[in-house]
Amino acid sequence: MGRLFGTDGVRGLANGQLTAELAVDLSVAAAHVLGEAGVFNGHRPVAVVGRDTRVSGEFLEAAVVAGLASAGVDVLLLGVLPTPGVAYLTAELGADLGVMLSASHNPMPDNGIKFLARGGVKLDDAIEIAIEKRLREPWDRPTGAGVGRVRPFDSAVDLYAKHLTETLPRGLDGIRVVLDCAHGAASEAGPRALRDAGAEVVAICAEPDGLNINEGCGSTHLGVLQRAVVERGADVGFALDGDADRCLAVDHEGNVVDGDQILAILALAMRDAGTLHADTVVATVMSNLGFVQAMRREGVGVRQTKVGDRYVLEMMKAGHYSLGGEQSGHVIMSDHATTGDGILTALHVLARMAEKNTSLAALAGVMTRLPQVLVNVTGVDKARTDEDALLAAAVAEAEAELGESGRVLLRPSGTEPLVRVMVEAESADQAQAVADRLAGVVRTQLEL
């Protein structure tokens, strides 16, 4: 049996794999493990609990709260709030534990439980493993005054929005923004923060009903935002995902501005402000080569990690870097947040537009995206990807053909029996041809 915790908490079909019983057990085990690890230091522990807008979040919230309170943990209910908002308030309120109920950009029937340690940071892997081992073990239950108290915390959105706007170097007066909230956790906090910062906001997909989160909208479905920006004559648009830890953008003509371009814009803004530590940004190996080339021209270093925001964050912590992110729009600004924050990202892109008095399209023009082709080769022995000599020779030949104007990446999937072949080149035709050729070699050499 594999690990219960994935890279972003425990996630699955709500009331399928992710049941109320499991939510209770996880919460009880988390309280015990943290208590025995000395996190509570003999004081009465406090947890904050937030959720996105999925209907299943209602019963899962009740289950998590029941588990924590039954283990003697006092609980503050934050209500509907983005994941980065829960992380911020975990730190701001001095809570011993934060819990977010969300499956991010996943479809509505899914949900997840994400635990945050004191300070609003991800739990260490060792703590997660210990929680899994302690599930459903017998325990001494507190009684009487020893059980936890549960109270609503009604000012969560106000405090979070205030924090976001206070990170800005300037106001956003006069900028007309369309914000797609994905009918998710930022439906109230997102428009509030942008309006408080001075922007003129048209909020769309901001009417959650428990069932419509991520449905045909948000960062995974940009068409509705592209149309809205053009139809409303807006200067810019941003699309969040269900828990608002990432965002993508659209310029005034409806053209998509992806996470690489957003990262480039913020890197130059922070470099100019003197806040880009070591003049270096952290990205993943999937970032477009055009991003790396643009940063090199601008004198900004790029450190690249494996795909996944956890790896970006690990490298940022190790090198004390202040900016990192992924092509997907998951951007971490560590001076202001412990995790990716879509609203924070949008605000700082808008601040750069205001500072330069220019359009998003002009700012995004700092980099030219190279055509990128991704081919998934299924039914192969991915474990031999780095061992096959003929495959290595084929990759070397392709790299020589592309030179400095392209690149090749072979990446075994972490969850499926397949190898991803990614090629970037000066033209889409060349990228496709090289990718298809390499995929054929992978298929032949690694066939099961």
Whether residue 235 is annotated as binding a ligand: the answer is no
Q: Which residues are catalytic?
A: 104
As given in the structure block, the two tokens for residue 210 are 């428990």
Whether residue 56 is annotated as binding a ligand: the answer is no
User: Can you say whether residue 176 is alpha, beta or left, with left for phi > 0 and alpha for psi between -120 and 50 degrees?
Assistant: beta
Q: Give residues with Cβ within 8 angstroms of 427, minimum separation 6.
A: 371
Sign of the CA dihedral with 92 first, then 98, 101, and 106 last: positive
Q: Are 96 and 37 in contact (CB under 8 A)?
A: no
**What phi and psi, each to the nearest 5 degrees, are found at residue 113?**
-125, 120
Q: Are 33 and 127 in contact (CB under 8 A)?
A: yes
* H or E segment to which residue 60 belongs: helix 56-70
Q: In Å, what is the CA distance from 187 to each residue of 190, 224, 240, 244?
A: 6, 16, 10, 9
Tokens 């055509």 locate to 371
Whether residue 245 is annotated as binding a ligand: the answer is yes
Helix 83-92, helix 342-356: angle, nearest 10: 90
Q: Are 334 and 270 in contact (CB under 8 A)?
A: no
Whether residue 8 is annotated as binding a ligand: the answer is no
Residues forming the annotated binding site?
Answer: 104, 241, 243, 245
Residues forming the annotated binding site for Mg(2+)?
Answer: 104, 241, 243, 245
